[in-house]
Amino acid sequence: MDRMLVVVFDNEVKAYEGKTALLELDNEGSISVYAYAVLAKHADGTASVKQGDDAGPIGTLLGTSFGSLIGLLGGPVGLAVGASAGIVAGTAVDVNNARIGEDFIDDVTKLLTANKFAVVAEIEEDWTTPVDTRMEAIGGTVFRRALADVKHTIHEENVAAMKADLAQMKAEQAKAHADRKAKLQEKINKLDAKIQEQLQKAKERREAAERQAQAKVQVLKAKAAAAKAKAS
């Protein structure tokens, strides 16, 4: 099952031990790690990516659900990102782009306080024991959310409501006097622009999810080929 994983540690040394343990589990075949980063939370409320995976097909943080999760964990003050992390500072992120429920973000941020560190990863795991056992032994607190349970919101209800308003305005415009027609047309144009913006965002999210799914397939194929070559 594909999951978002956040493991919170009290210090940087433990966080790097956690990252190493996560990659060891990947090498052992216990899990598959698609992307990871070590995140530091600072006293002023900002966060920074200390180390990130920028090599694989979904290792680049920018434009992915994983990257949006990193941005959200950076908090409202902002995210200071190292050059090696592969994400552009100031990139707009929201819960919908991250495909993560707000409750998950709240649970993590309550523990990921000033001067703490976290290993953030997108992984595939068939059972939770391998990760939990290794991380708890190091002193980490594990949060996970199955992507199958994550909302892939398209704001369908909002779009439907706006379309209903648009239809009503057009009906009123057909019966209105000339001066009123112009004012209604202005409102119609603005509302239609909002509808198109929502639909475009929904399209971009779907396309991003499809790209990530394809990239994950390539990761698994590469691992299978490497394992086969090692066995032969």
Q: Which residues of the chain have pLDDT under 50?
A: 54-63, 76-93, 148-154
Quick one: 7 and 41 in the same domain?
A: yes
Q: What is the pLDDT of residue 221?
A: 82
Q: What is the pLDDT of residue 226?
A: 80
Quick one: 106 and 19 in the same domain?
A: yes
Domain end call among 152, 183, 212: 152
Identify the burial level of 79 via C-beta atoms within 10 angstroms of its C-beta, where 0-12 means exposed, 13-18 middle and 19 or more buried.
buried
Quick one: 129 and 26 in the same domain?
A: yes
Stated pTM of the model: 0.66
| Per-residue DSSP letter, 147 | G
Domain end call among 152, 171, 192: 152
Quick one: 171 and 147 in the same domain?
A: no
Q: Is the dihedral of CA 206, 208, 209, 215 positive or negative?
A: positive
Quick one: 119 and 74 in the same domain?
A: yes
Quick one: 113 and 212 in the same domain?
A: no
Q: What is the pLDDT of residue 51?
A: 66
Nearest to 104 by CA among 159, 143, 153: 143
Q: What is the DSSP string of 27-77?
A: HHTSEEEEEEEEEEE-TTS-EEEEEE--SSTTT--TTSHHHHHHHHHT-TT
Q: What is the pLDDT of residue 106?
A: 85
Q: What is the pLDDT of residue 52?
A: 62
In contact, 69 and 4? CB cutoff 8 Å: yes
Q: Which domain holds residue 33?
A: 2-152
* Unique residue bearing structure tokens 């996560």: 22
